[in-house]
Structure 1
Amino acid sequence: MNSDTILILGYGAMASAIAQGLNGKYSMEICGRDRRKALDFIAKLDLQNTTAPESKSVDFASNPHAINIQDKILLLCVKPYALASFAYLGQAKAVYSVLAGISIEQIATHIHATAYVRLMPNIAALHGLSATTAFCSVGTASMISAQEKREPHMDLPDSQACSTAVEQTDSLSQQLEQLKRQAQEICQGFGEVVFVENERLIDSSIATSGSAPAFLALVAQALVDSGVMVGLSRVDSRTLVAQTFVGVGELLRHYGPQELIDRVTTPGGTTIEGLAVLESSGVRGAFMQAAKASVAKASATNAPNHSCTSAQPHAPTIQNTTDSQKTLVPKEPNHE
């Protein structure tokens, strides 16, 4: 079993999926506003090596619950608005977030950590079949201090300053690779993971995996109704459609979508007749517009003027360095 402790904040459907995937592989803690619900969550899922620590009340009116995250891996599985409902004590080894539309920069204003990972899993995580997108970022408090003291390097010879920069970049790269290995191990507990090199692509993956199960379920419902319309029982129609989706999922591992269409479609046959109706109805374009709308909604949520009330107003924020690496810099205090 891994020596790290994973603290899962939340006890909803996604927390359940992730906890089941990690059961027996890590020591876990389940935390939220209601400890009784956390204990029920542990019992219902029969989670091993798992506890439900108290979330102590503190004196912040907007942050009544404090949780100890020191040297733990924190998984945020709450609704985005609930991020500010807790005071996070200490510095986590890493923070993993499934909060749609909440950027690493926003998370970092609430939580101190050595590294941050944004995840976009989908509901299939409940069965260990999630298609998850991940973006990883590294940054530590010591790096903040180093950045604040970097000006004296201006007095160093160019070669020495360059050597220092190279060493820091190499260190960041190593930390990032270690973080990706950890993220892959965690995510594979509830499906497959694809890493992206730009955080905005997390929101983009709503089109391909985050919202896609609902889009495909709409297609499935239409096909079930079609079966009923032409004489099949609803039970039989649903069974056939469900298995067809399983089969298509496996086929797409071996063939591209167009190649699969070509394999099913014969000249003058039944499939091309149906495809012609779908194309004339603009189904392909409708799906693309639906996906675009979902991504736009996430992007609007993630806009700079959208923020959560912070329990720690002077916590660090993220500053972009490259598409694949970000480091922490201190946020300027508000003097108003």
Structure 2
Amino acid sequence: MRLVFVGLGKMGRSILRGVLDKGFLAPEEVGVLGRSPERTRELAQAFGIQPVRPEDLARAERVLIAVQPRDFPALAPLIAHPLTGYLSIMAGVSTGVLTRRLGTRRVVRAMPNLAAEIGESSTALFGPKEAEEAGDLDFARALFATVGDVYEIPERLFDAFTGMSASAPAYLAVVAEALADGGVRMGIPRALALKLAADALAATGELLKRTHPGRLKDEVASPGGTTIHGLFALEARGVRAAFMEAVERATLRGQALGEEE
């Protein structure tokens, strides 16, 4: 078996769909280990992949750990095999912790975001030289490319990447909801306001791939116009500082999760 998913929540399912839909792996090459035998069978049937028991993991080429960080200490002894490669999408769990608990340096740390669901994730990757030499890092690059773009970054930036990129869909969802609420306040029907907010964020994302955000802002904000007055209100409420603090708080929480290990 080429890859076993340990845990299969929302993010794990998005990655699994990308892997299967893009033909990176065939269903018979993929297994799943759930929190119980019943859950394992249920997930395997739902996705047409193989049910796996903890003792079967010794025969797996690689294991993708997709559980909550708090569950990892108890899980690690059950899944640790020195000849297996491991990929982790657990926030805050360093390669040092993975190595210590799994008994191998063949570990790759990855951090995708919710956009994996639509093949538009930004995924950070890091692995030590042992993972590079064993081909685990190459495997991870190809695997996560099935759900979006892949960025290899130093591990010291992982918590910041998590606090910014991995958390960004939640931040921007709040922006969309607030924009819609503003439209409703001014008389736009709720359904239309939500659609307009979603369209605006999607289109702006595409524009930002082509130009600097400051330039885009200046192009929309004409002298004495409506937009500059709206921007003044945002600045008065400290919107920039709020977003910067959100990234900082999320980064610090990622660091704290790592310290709990």
1:12 and 2:9 correspond: yes
Question: Residue type matched to 1:25 in 2?
Answer: F
Query: Letter of the aligned partner of 2:92 in structure 1?
Result: G
Equivalence map 1:1-336=2 (5 Å): 5-23=2-20, 24-26=23-25, 27-44=29-46, 46-47=47-48, 50-55=49-54, 66=55, 68-70=57-59, 72-86=61-75, 87-113=78-104, 115-139=106-130, 175=133, 178-196=135-153, 198-303=154-259, 306-307=260-261
Number of equivalent positions:
254
Q: Give 1:83 shift.
A: 1.5
- Distance in 1 between the 2:240 and 2:228 partners? 15
Whose relative contact order is higher, 1 or 2, with alpha carbons under 8 Å and at least 6 apart?
Answer: 1
Q: CA deviation at 1:215?
A: 1.0
Q: Which has the higher helix share?
A: 2
Partner secondary structure for residue 266 of structure 1: coil
User: 2:96 is aligned with what amino acid?
Assistant: E
Q: Assess, with a 3 A threshold, how the Cα gap between structure 1 residues 248 and 136 changes in structure 2: closer, same or farther.
A: same
8 Å contact kept, 2:69–2:257: no
Instruction: Give a deviation string over 1:63-93, Cα, whole Å, max 9, x none.
Output: xxx5524451110000112213332253344
Residue 145 of structure 1 is matched in structure 2 by: none
Checking the alignment, whether the CA contact within 8 Å between 1:18 and 1:190 is kept in structure 2 is yes
**Larger Rg, first or second structure (1 or 2):** 1
**Hey, what's the Cα distance between the residues in 1 that align with 2:61 and 2:136?**
14
Q: Measured at CA, do residues 92 and 268 of structure 1 come closer, stay the same or move farther in structure 2, by a change above 3 Å? A: farther
Whether the 8 Å CA contact 1:7–1:69 is kept in 2: the answer is no
What's the C-alpha RMSD, in Å, of the aligned pairs?
2.0
On the 8 A contact 2:31/2:44 being kept in 1, the answer is no
AA aligned to 2:40 is: A
Deviation at 1:12, TM superposition (A): 1.0
Cα 1:43–1:220, aligned 2, differ >3 Å: closer, same or farther? same
Where structure 2 has 5 or more consecutive residues not aligned to the other structure, the ranges are none
Label 1:203 to 1:67 Cα distance change in 2 as closer, same or farther (>3 A): farther
Structure number having the greater strand percentage: 1
Does the 8 A contact of 1:92 with 1:112 survive in 2? Answer: no
Q: Which residue of 2 aligns with 1:170?
A: none
Other-structure match for 1:332 = none
CA contact (8 A) 1:98 1:120 kept: yes
**5+ long unaligned stretches in structure 1:** 56-65, 141-173, 308-336
User: What's the CA shift string for 1:247-295, capped at 9, x where partnerless?
Assistant: 1111111111112112212111111111011112111011101110110
- What TM-score do the two structures reach when normalised by structure 1? 0.71
Amino acid corresponding to residue 189 of structure 1 in structure 2? T
SS at match of 2:31: strand
